Structure 1
Amino acid sequence: MRSIAGADIYGITGEEHSRGRDNITVVKAMIDAGITLIQYREKEKTMLERYRQCEILRRLTQDAGVTFIVNDHVDLALAVEADGLHVGQDDLPIPVVRKLAGPSMIIGLSTHSPAQAAAAVEAGADYIGVGPIFTTQTKKDVCDAVGLTYLDHVAQREDIPFVAIGGIKEHNIAEVRAHGAETIALVTEIVGAENISKRVKAIRKAMERN
């Protein structure tokens, strides 16, 4: 099973923030920039539109050896044979998702507190999202920022792979890295860049400053 281990950047799609480019174009640019872990997150399209995009993205990521995660929709993840599925606190419980998705699919869960992190480990999540670290406008239903204290807690006390997420940009990514995050998710900072390859290089350089 592919995992998030070894990935420095967790790229997440966001077509409404992508300067008029579609998710296919953006993911191609992410792959060309060397991102090895990509999540398809699309809230506004119909399921058929999502499926058609994910069919293409699955082929692209598979050919490139990139781990492909689908957000929220276990049926979509199964239909395109994605490597994994990422769900939130208000989605189906992890044991139910595991029953539907099978033993080989990577399952990630968004968490916002120490109690949720512990529950995710107990439920059998393969990795957790930790955040939002900073205030973010990318998601409409996002909770308040949890700050770096929760990130410290997970890095120091939880034995599970995790991804820091939420309001992370080139200017603050070194601080997030310094607090123990090895894998960091970015949305608008990447998909909204005029030159994605150039921006990814700058982000990686910034990550080395801690």
Structure 2
Amino acid sequence: MSARPTLDLSVYLVLGRKDCRRHGLEEVAARALAGGATLVQLREKDLSAEDYLDLARSLLPLLERAGIPLIVNDRVEEAVALGAIDGRVGVHVGQDDQPAAEVRRRIGPRAVLGLSVRRPEDALAAPAEALDHLGVGPVYTTTTKADAAAPIGPEGVAAVRAVTALPLVGIGGITVERAPEVVAAGAQGVAVVSAIAGSEDPEAATAAFARAVRGARNQASQT
């Protein structure tokens, strides 16, 4: 890639093996992509580097066919090994991980880079020139992250939206019913874990989120 891809944050699937309660990880990813997932992040904090790389490489062909990068959660060394320098994978980091500006130096200019924020102060302190988007949350109470902070609600998303021009994706406890209010608060899309990865039908679940986000965007454009 000669430049970073244009991101569509509409339905951002975050998954690891423990999230895939009814189907294997590769099957969940494939069915979510068929349903309209626009980004996929692999979140596996406890795997060895070798096992993480093997798992990520099992997903790369699916994502390459879809024309989107695989987003690596936190693991910068693995992202570089997987092809971040060439833009084949991206990285998402949290407030307690390596500083975003340092990560950008490590992964080069072509890879997508996102940063988790919770408060407007986090967004104001973020190196916007190094980032492609911000993940904002947890918007609602979530059980998929053991150390999740207290939920900020849609009003928290709106507060972050007010201080940054970076694209936002809301994360944390987001259901199909709640997705429109997250978009109405200023997010470009929603990041989803269990509502897709743990679904009996990941394709249908993803398609429902895609419709909800699209409808909210259409409504926003008419007001």
Count of residues in correspondence between the two structures:
209
Deviation, structure 1 residue 206: 3.1
Partner of 2:121: 115
**Pairing 1:162–2:168 present:** yes
Does the CA-based 8 Å contact 2:167-2:187 persist in structure 1?
Answer: no
Can you list the C-alpha shifts for 1:118-157, whole angstroms capped at 9, x where unaligned? 1114563221111111111111121111222221122233
Runs of 4+ with deviation above 6 angstroms: none
The aligned residue for residue 36 of structure 1 is 38
User: Unaligned regions of 5+ residues in structure 2, if any?
Assistant: none
| Corresponding position of 1:11 | 13
Q: Tell me how far apart the structure 1 counterparts of residues 162 and 147 of structure 2 sit (CA, whole Å).
A: 28
Q: Supply the RMSD in Å over aligned alpha carbons.
A: 1.7
In the other structure, the counterpart of 1:87 is 93
Cα distance in 2 for partners of 1:94, 1:204 equals 29
Question: What is the distance in 2 between the residues matched to 1:50 and 1:23?
Answer: 13
Residue of structure 1 in register with 2:29 after alignment: 27
The one-letter code matched in structure 1 to 2:5 is R
Structure 1 segment 128-207 matched on structure 2, within 5 A? 128-207=134-213
Partner-residue secondary structure (3-state), 1:105: coil
Tell me the percent identity. 34
Higher relative contact order (CA 8 A, sep 6+): 2
Q: Given the two structures, how large is their TM-score scaled by the length of structure 2?
A: 0.87
Conservation of the 8 A alpha-carbon contact between 1:111 and 1:117:
yes
CA–CA separation in structure 2 for the residues paired with 1:174 and 1:34: 17
Residue 57 of structure 1, CA deviation: 1.1
CA spacing shift, 1:115–1:173, aligned 2, 3 Å: same
In 2: Cα distance, 1:174 partner to 1:101 partner: 33
Unpaired runs of 5+ residues, structure 1, are: none
In the other structure, the counterpart of 2:106 is 100
Q: TM-score, normalised by structure 1?
A: 0.92
Task: Look up the SS of the partner of 1:135 in the other structure.
Answer: coil
